Structure 1
């Protein structure tokens, strides 16, 4: 009498005998390692291979659709602005007048003449300073509202790049048009850049941009009417963010890019060009003041 052959064991759990097998690869698998399929049942290895091979869904900007809807970059930017504001509050010992007696505020606020004499950190650092809690709250609320929509659409890295390009655009405009000894600070240039970018996005996906255009118009009017607000910084950020978003969302289509790689490359190149123009403008303004 011939002995019965040993029962097959699960390919992933050799200590488990099983009479089941993957209907795709044929390998024996235990119930824990099998998943229902349209025909039969597939092992987790085959399912993982399918998931890796399947193309990821992408947004109109060419960004892979994030597995999490949480706008991490937006929250990180809000947190960074709040932390820096808190530092200035502690240094100045004042919640309202945090710009008096704070060494960080004094070293980072944008003063064109000081930038022209080598204090380049002000070009970037000023975008994270705020004149009191109301200024901070208004900018962070706008960043939070816009960022939740724009970050998933552009992708996290491109969204951050557009934010920084808008910040630098605001600094460049302030360097050119602001009085050389006047001080400017705030994330408004970057936020206005996001305003322009989300308006371009709405047009790209064929949504009505009128609400954003009205919001931009109201903010520009306030910037123009209220003394002490940097109109040039707001408009510079708006222009830079709008141009960067056009490069990401429309230029690939205009150039008839067919592959996702080309779409991403053209978008990044467009952002880089706008950022380079920002830096050149800052450099030329500084050279004129030196």
Structure 2
């Protein structure tokens, strides 16, 4: 009969000596202060009292709930990188460069002319012409414009202002909501801006990420309310931007308003719907209810678009 946890013995004149439970070939005089098993220095970690073996630490980590934000996203150690925000900025910049190359202009990449015979717009940039938000074209089945227009910008200054705002506002919002929820809120906000333009604006052309950025502002206001902190700073920023939208020509107020409303509604669905529908401490149920809430907001936004499309098709016989 053998005992691999001990070495030596009376037969060879040496005293019994414990050996590491994970490395039977290593004699040791140390042990885990939690489970008491012998362990070598490589298998022990300092603890508040004594030292614990790696098996006990792993078991403790499995039984300890991860620290999460108010939206249920895991809190990452150190300085986490807002990857999604940077990716969204990169996509916007890339799309702008493509349109600038096609139009051969950094400042007038969205230049277009109306064909007097067909009434259609002809843009110097083919991509700009295919993605810019035009209610009539959406009603004619060009649905890509609802999202694609949110990645287009009229000139370098328009791009720079929106990307700076996205950089300032998006990073913290992403870390609180988590990457997947943040993407969902961003896209729903963008869609909300397009829906408002479709329903309440004229037949002009609209483009820019500002609808989605207003949605991020709305999301931050809801997050602060959920944390029981004053939303006054972000509300002031929203108010200033609303005034700018109303007073300066060439800015789509309805695109901003729609994005703001959709972003706030989507974030409220994430943060408050689980509480309203009795999820309690059940995190899985809370996540499921939150995503269902996001789906409801998205479907409602698409419903607004659908009603406007039906109206336009009836008016123009499309």
- The alignment's TM-score, normalised by the length of structure 2, stands at 0.85
Matched, 1:2 2:11: yes
Which one is further off, 54-63 or 64-73?
Answer: 64-73
The DSSP-based 3-state class of the residue aligned with 2:249 is coil
1:29 pairs with 9, 33, 39, which one? 39
Q: Secondary structure at the match of 1:69?
A: coil
User: Which segment is superposed worse, 199-208 or 114-123?
Assistant: 199-208
Q: Which residue of 2 aligns with 1:146?
A: 169
1:88 to 71, 77, 99: 99
Structure 1 residue ranges without an equivalent (≥5): none
Q: 1:235 aligns with which of 236, 257, 264?
A: 257
Closer/same/farther in 2, CA of residues 28 and 90 from structure 1, 3 Å limit: farther
Task: Point out where structure 2 has 5 or more consecutive residues left out of the alignment.
Answer: 1-9, 112-123, 314-318
Give CA-to-partner distance per residue, 1:201-234, whole Å, 9 cap, x none.
1122122222211211111111112222111111
Correspondences of 1:158-197 after superposition (within 5 Å): 158-180=181-203, 182-197=204-219
What residue in structure 2 maps to residue 123 of structure 1?
146
Larger Rg: 2
Determine the structure 1 residue equivalent to 2:300: 277
SS state of the match for residue 65, structure 2?
coil
Distance, in Å, in 2 between the alignment partners of 1:110 and 1:191 is 17
Q: Please, what is the CA RMSD of the aligned residues?
A: 1.9
Shift of residue 97 of structure 1? 1.1
**What residue number does 2:114 align with?**
none
Distance change (3 Å), C-alpha of 1:139 and 1:9: same
Query: Quick one: which of 44, 50, 58 aligns to 2:68?
Result: 58
Structure-2 residue corresponding to 1:225:
247
Larger RCO (CA under 8 A, 6+ residues apart): 1
User: Number of paired residues?
Assistant: 289
Report the CA distance shift for 1:20/1:229 in structure 2 as closer, same or farther (over 3 A).
same
What's 2:52 paired with?
42
User: Going by fraction, where is strand more abundant, 1 or 2?
Assistant: 2
CA distance in 2: counterparts of 1:104 and 1:66, whole angstroms: 38
